[in-house]
Amino acid sequence: MSNPSFKLNTGHDIPGLGFGTFDPRYPEKAYDATLHALHAGYRHLDCAALYINEELVGKAIHEFLESRPDVQRKDLFITTKAWNHMHEPEDVEASIKESLRKLRLDYVDLYLLHYPIATVKDEKGGEAVGADGKYIVKKELTENPEPTWRAMEKVARDGLTRAIGVSNWSVSRLRSLLKFASIPPATNQIEIHPFFPNTKVVQFCFDHGILPVAYSPLGSQVLTCGEAEKARGQQALRDIATRKGCDIGQILIAWGLRRGYSVIPKSFTKSRITSNFQRVELTDEEFKAIGDAPGGKYTRFVDLSVEYSYDNFWADEEDR
């Protein structure tokens, strides 16, 4: 079964099923995992400056294209992201140029602001930490991101990226952004899985021509803050997977795709990378059962708010 695609508001297509390159436990494995993913058929790679592995991902892309003359750069969809301490206008351009250098690319297909939170740089160029042990937030730039977004629009107009977007933005932040954006965000990459369906944000995005992109679509098995209920432990999900002769990851991917957005599962295990790309179809009953599995108990698995000195980190926590 082929990988579906979705149309962005730029007119470009984005593959529905992508490959997430983040694993803080094994950043050195990004090369092998990415190369395997490309050979397995993935054409959508999700990267970020934060992941500290763009050079390895870039090496994999370069070697794959060298070995496969039937696949060209235009056949790939590469996303990367600016981290929080790179929100000043001059830093936005510097950040994407550094990512392009590491990825060995002339352009990316999508460039995102990783979070809506702008932070202070330290003397080494990283995020500054305050006396409370938390990252220091630039409140003014966080609450008025127009200068940052103007810089995002500039790198798009300069051809460094084909589309720009955001990640982890709430309804209220998106609504504010759309009031001044000359180029609206093409995507909003957010945590979405049955245990955090993010329905209000997803619907707002659909209503305003912004494609949701789901990270942690399998429920985060790598970065879990607090007491989070793991999706793989649910009996209802195991039963559906058993009946269909597939694994739980495949049915969770199918659930996200059927909701109408791109999903980017992550695994550095080769067998799992391959199985995640093998699509399954859900019946109406199965689709509903997966969505009902949490029983109305929703949990954000990836929550960095405790690491930042800012009370309004998520802005609309009721938007689930």
The catalytic residue positions are: 51
Q: What one-character DSSP code corresponds to residue 92?
A: H
As given in the structure block, the two tokens for residue 305 are 């708010």
d(CA 42, CA 276): 10
b/e map 222-244, b = 16+ CB within 10 Å: bebeeebeebeebeebeebbeeb
Alpha carbon distances (Å) from 43 to 2, 36, 78 = 12, 11, 8
- Rg of the chain's alpha carbons, rounded to an integer? 19
114: annotated binding-site residue?
yes
State how far the Cα of 256 lies from the Cα of 249, in Å rounded to an integer.
11
Give me the residue label for tokens 């399998």: 218
DSSP tag of 196: B
Q: Which residues contact 21 (CB under 8 A, 6 or more apart)?
A: 30, 33, 34, 45, 46, 47, 48, 51, 53, 57, 266
Q: If you count DSSP H runs as helices and E runs as strands, how many of each does the chain have, helices first? A: 11, 10
- Are 186 and 10 a contacting pair, CB within 8 Å? yes
Report the candidate in 91, 82, 144, 90 with the shortest Cα–Cα distance to residue 110.
Answer: 82
Nearest alpha carbon to residue 78 among 154, 14, 156: 14
Q: Which two tokens stand for residue 289?
A: 């059962």
d(CA 145, CA 140) in angstroms, rounded, equals 8
Give the residue numbers of the binding site for substrate: 114
